[in-house]
Amino acid sequence: MSSMVIPVDPFDLVIFGGTGDLAMRKLLPALFRRDADGQIPATARILGLARTDQDTESFKAEARAALHKHVAVDELDSIALERFIERLSYLHIDVTDARAWGELVSYLNERPEHIRVYYLAVGPALFGPIAQGLAQVGLATTKARLVVEKPLGHDLASAMTLNRELSSVFNEKSIYRIDHYLGKETVQNLMALRFANALFEPLWNANRIDHVQITASESLGVGTRGSYYDTAGAIRDMVQNHLVQLLCLLAMEPPYKFDADALRDEKLKVLRSLRPITGRNVLTNTVRGQYLAHGPDAPSYLQEVGNPDSKTESYVAIKAEIDNWRWSGVPFYLRTGKKLRAQMTEIAVVFKEPAHSVFGDLETPSMPNVLSIRLQPDEGLQLVIMTKDPGPGGFRLRAIPLDMTFAEGRGSNWRMPDAYERLLMDVVRGNQTLFMRGDEVEAAWRWIDPIIEAWEASGLRPEGYDPGSRGPIAAVEMMARDGRRWREIEV
Ligand code: NAD
């Protein structure tokens, strides 16, 4: 599949929560694909660890079923599948039971030379206890890496507590905080686009850019995640991590080199430059929504979470402003929501109109250039430019997209790698560039917390919106007040 595959060093990867949804749906398929591609060395092992009472054989059967479900048939080469399954083992351990860790120690000590990766695919309440458990049995070694994923705290205070718990055992250089958006090819391409081309960087500032829109729109509701989601809402579940991370990559200054800390230093500066949204400003700079019911088969948000009084938002739009030289006066509009028109994630950089229109009053007026960076469903870049509509008649302008859908450029056999493939191999390689540092997570909460506090102080409820729509009317009005419009939510 890939053009060049460099095998990583031998490793043992322990998935705490190995029987869970994340492990079965994302981690094992990603590891299988890297293995099938020849990137995983022969001696590497994968250990599922969970409190489900079963043995290695039934774990292997479960993993095999998950791979058949989540990996396309033409990728499931039988030799590669058997080789991968043979790497798997299982340990039935309740991590809260201190006596149970001995078997894990014996298993890992069989290969002391291996890099050790501990992937915490369990609820966040277990992150601290697992880190402590690893330290107590001597498994928090210098070759070990700890991987954690959202939710990384519920607010600034809990994020700081979590960081303290993890860093009391592991060095920051051994902690890998995953935001899988950062593993997407398009997001990495955003950095290539900005820093490997001379074309865009001179335009990448308030002189040439009118505004930016970042949209993560989902077509499904909260489904079975209702009880968790109602304690979080769209701002904690999507904005604090994914959308803010995209904003940082888009807005940061060029790092002095493509190195984990150099890049993360620049992202941190953006986070610190975000203008606080406090008090009554939340009424003008943010919009919250909750999806309504649509007939008996499509319950409302409140019905799905079983809490008629909930004020948790299933939609949020925020006008963010960055108080620095480069971005002064350029709004970054963020929006995300459930049960919207379509499933799509996109960054759109909307450039300013030409200073003067030499074409006068045409029937088809000029439109601003837009660079759209699409993460979902089809990863790719598109630059809309104005051209003359061909033909001998009058002079009409036409907006033409220069399309760079990545899959098309790579031939029909090419498959877009899943973000977890890249990120898991980066953990083994010890490359933290695409992972969040503890101070970044805290800085993001420092911006988010006052918004949530101001919502709570206002006592207002989120506005209802129809499922399958573009979201609450108030979000359209927020844009209209600035003389702008949201981009269409479509695939
Ligand atoms: P899940 O409920 O499906 O799985 C949880 C796993 O943890 C199970 O294997 C369970 O046996 C194990 N477990 C629970 N308590 C344990 C204990 N005391 N000792 C040992 N094992 C224990 O959850 P999930 O959806 O896989 O999510 C896991 C974590 O990853 C959560 O924090 C979630 O927020 C996060 N996450 C999940 C996804 C996803 O796509 N599922 C995406 C991003 C983040």
Written as one letter, the residue type at 9 is D
Q: Which of 15, 16, 19, 21 to mutate to test the pocket of ligand 1 (most atoms within 8 A of CB)?
A: 21
Identical fold for domains 11-149 and 182-418+437-481, yes or no, is no
pLDDT tens column, 328-382: 999 999 999 999 999 999 999 999 998 887 877 666 677 899 999 999 888 888 9
Residue whose CA is at the smallest distance from ligand 1 atom 7: 17
What is the atom index within ligand 1 of the atom nearest the CA of 151? 34
Give every CB contact of residue 224 below 8 A, 6+ residues apart in sequence.
none
Give every CB contact of residue 302 below 8 A, 6+ residues apart in sequence.
290, 308, 310
Q: For residue 126, how far is its CA from the centre of ligand 1 (angstroms)? A: 10
**92 labelled ligand-binding:** no
What is the atom index within ligand 1 of the atom nearest the CA of 149? 44
N-terminal to C-terminal alpha carbon distance within the chain: 26
Q: For residue 121, how far is its CA from the centre of ligand 1 (angstroms)? A: 5
Q: Alpha carbon of 18 to those of 40, 92, 183: distances in Å? A: 19, 10, 21
Q: Alpha carbon of 303 to those of 196, 285, 332, 469: distances in Å? A: 49, 28, 33, 19
**418 labelled ligand-binding:** no
Q: Which of 68, 242, 294, 356 is catalytic?
A: 242
Q: Tally the C-alpha atoms within 13 A of residue 389's C-alpha that lie toward its C-beta.
A: 12
Q: Where are the alpha helices (DSSP H) in 87-237?
A: 102-109, 127-136, 156-167, 185-195, 226-234
The structural domains of the chain, with segments of one domain joined by +, span: 11-149, 182-418+437-481
**Contact of 32 with 81, CB cutoff 8 Å:** yes
Which residues have any ligand 1 atom within 6 Å of their CB? 17-23, 26, 50-52, 93-96, 121-124, 126, 149-151
**Contact of 422 with 434, CB cutoff 8 Å:** yes
CATH class of 182-418+437-481: alpha beta
Q: Cα–Cα distance between 24 and 52 in angstroms, integer?
A: 14
Q: Tell which phi-psi region holds residue 427, choosing left (phi > 0), alpha (psi between -120 and 50) or beta.
A: alpha
Residue 291 CA to its chain's centroid (Å): 23
| pLDDT per residue of the chain (491 residues) written in tens, 0 to 9 | 445 799 999 999 999 999 999 999 999 999 999 999 999 999 999 999 999 999 999 999 999 999 999 999 999 999 999 999 999 999 999 999 888 899 999 999 999 999 999 999 999 999 999 999 999 999 998 889 999 999 999 999 999 999 999 999 999 999 999 999 999 988 988 999 999 999 999 999 999 999 999 999 999 999 888 999 999 999 999 999 999 999 999 999 999 999 999 999 999 999 999 999 999 999 999 999 999 999 888 999 999 999 999 999 999 999 999 999 999 999 999 999 999 999 999 999 999 998 887 877 666 677 899 999 999 888 888 999 988 888 887 788 888 989 877 666 666 677 888 999 999 999 999 999 999 999 999 999 999 999 999 999 999 999 999 999 999 999 999 999 999 999 999 88
Q: Tally the C-alpha atoms within 13 A of residue 75's C-alpha that lie toward its C-beta.
A: 22
Whether 242 is catalytic: yes
HEC per residue, 386-446: EEECCCCCCCCEEEEEEEEEHHHHCCCCCCCCCHHHHHHHHHHHCCCCCCECHHHHHHHHH
User: CATH topology for 11-149?
Assistant: Rossmann fold (3.40.50)
Residue 443 CA to its chain's centroid (Å): 17
Q: Cα–Cα distance between 161 and 282 in angstroms, integer?
A: 27
Give every CB contact of residue 151 below 8 A, 6+ residues apart in sequence.
124, 232, 236, 237
Q: For residue 36, how far is its CA from the centre of ligand 1 (angstroms)? A: 26
What is the atom index within ligand 1 of the atom nearest the CA of 26? 40
Quick one: which of 277, 276, 278, 269 has its CA closest to 247? 269
